[in-house]
Structure 1
Amino acid sequence: MNLIQSRAWRAVARIATVVALAALSACASPPARFYTLGTDREPTRESVTVSPAFWIDMRVAKVPVSVARSQIVVQDDAARVRILEDERWASPLADELRNALLAAATRPTGRPDTFQPGHAEDARTYQVSVDVQRFESWPGSHALIDVTWSVRKSNDSRTLTCRSIVSQPVSAGYDALVNGHRVAVRRIGAQIGDAVREFSASAIVSATAPARVPASTGSSVLSCPALAG
């Protein structure tokens, strides 16, 4: 092979390499986008300094297997779902739900009580368990969360079990869809916070009621609070 042919082959090789790299670049997947259910305002130390303080031991939420993945799963119709490879949760959905519900349950209300997230093993700890029955994402339509949750005081055998179903209308786009779930989670978390307050009020009534008055009467009877909004 002479010098001219060698240079020609090298030029062809360079062109082929450039074309191949361009093709690979065109076929590359777009970068994934990550979303969180975190509330706009997380609880801060300043918001939980009023006494007396209560602790909420929020357990990791149980979620359906179909949505227990990093990718966001959307409904195409009642019988079909679609897994979005490029739209993902910033952390496992069960953790996203736990953290967002805890933040919503401990938001300041201006009432003479306050909450602190934690795992303190004392009489002021309220254990919250969350079991998600449905977590549905309908793009351009609505975000639906159907959850059964329970509250129990660490030193009390009583358990309050409630069910919350929130269907939040959403506009087009995945940002709007995730925001719909955020709104739904805030409403359910606020309901859980109200239940803990009711538990606390019941404990105060039981402790201060005269012996002749059964502690299970009056305001010591527990009931599921209404959903906010």
Structure 2
Amino acid sequence: MTRRNRRMARLALPRLAFLVVPAFLAGCASPPVRFYTLGAPAIATGAVPTGIVTPATPVVEVARVTLPDYLDGQDIVVRAGNQIERSATGRWASRLSLGATDLITAQLARGRTDLFVTDQPQSLPATWRLAVNISRLDVTRDGTASLEADWSIIPHDANLPILHSRAAFTQAGAAATDGDTARLTQAVLEQLAERIVAGWPR
């Protein structure tokens, strides 16, 4: 090889590296992160699906659902024994407490069309306030979702009693993917919402 050819080869090496390194990194890139919602029914928050809202319509203000700290984020997690595994490929579209609040609000609005149900602060005291505390919400690798919760229906009228309830729910299904985990999570939250609707005072 001539001196001129050797010089040209040395000059070409950095250019070749400039092309090869990005291609290598692109081949090693992680799969794109997918975002999931809890699939709450398409009911606008604070809206009554049917009927006319009047000054006499009872108002229900749904407080933000409380969850254990390790769950209340955007990470999709599954439980493996006493370990919590966070997904590298799936995320909730919003904090889980917000998604759960939206779902319960929508389910209550759909199930009780005689009420004005909202999770937004109101200018006047609501007729009732709903406070939901989820103490456990686990999806395991073997496809079992478990939820334990208590909730209180708090009337504005101090002469009426506060209604306290507690329940536990389970749901079985596939849990191989982030989508499966999202569906199981939604299923047990829907069971909770249905129980709250069924026990609402008439």
The bucket for the TM-score relative to the shorter chain is 0.7 to 0.9
Tell me the CA shift for residue 119 of structure 1.
3.8
Please say if 1:148 is aligned against 2:147: no
CA distance in 2: counterparts of 1:116 and 1:101, whole angstroms: 10
Q: Quick one: higher RCO (CA 8 Å, sep 6+), 1 or 2? A: 2
CA distance in 2: counterparts of 1:192 and 1:115, whole angstroms: 16
Residue equivalent to 2:162: 159
Residue among 134, 137, 144 paired with 1:135: 137
CA distance in 2: counterparts of 1:100 and 1:132, whole angstroms: 14
Tell me the CA shift for residue 40 of structure 1.
3.5
Amino acid at match of 1:28: A
Measured at CA, do residues 48 and 147 of structure 1 come closer, stay the same or move farther in structure 2, by a change above 3 Å? same
Residue equivalent to 2:51: 49
CA distance in 1: counterparts of 2:188 and 2:17, whole angstroms: 54
RMSD value, Cα: 2.5
TM-score by length of 1: 0.74
Measured at CA, do residues 178 and 148 of structure 1 come closer, stay the same or move farther in structure 2, by a change above 3 Å? same
Tell me the CA shift for residue 139 of structure 1.
3.4
Amino acid at match of 2:107: A
Q: Which aligned pairs between 1:51-66 and structure 2 lie closer than 5 A?
A: 53-66=57-70
Please say if 1:190 is aligned against 2:194: yes
Q: Deviations over 1:188-224 (max 9, x none)?
A: 112222333x1xx3xxxxxxxxxxxxxxxxxxxxxxx
TM-score by length of 2: 0.83
Please say if 1:99 is aligned against 2:86: no
Larger helix fraction of residues: 1
Residue equivalent to 1:72: 76
Amino acid at match of 1:159: I
Residue equivalent to 2:173: 170
Residue among 122, 125, 128 paired with 2:127: 125
Aligned 8 A contact 1:56 1:126 in 2: yes
Unaligned ranges ≥5, structure 2: none
CA distance in 2: counterparts of 1:189 and 1:6, whole angstroms: 74
4+ residue segments displaced more than 4 Å: 43-46, 121-124
Tell me the CA shift for residue 103 of structure 1.
0.9
CA distance in 1: counterparts of 2:93 and 2:155, whole angstroms: 31
Tell me the CA shift for residue 121 of structure 1.
5.4
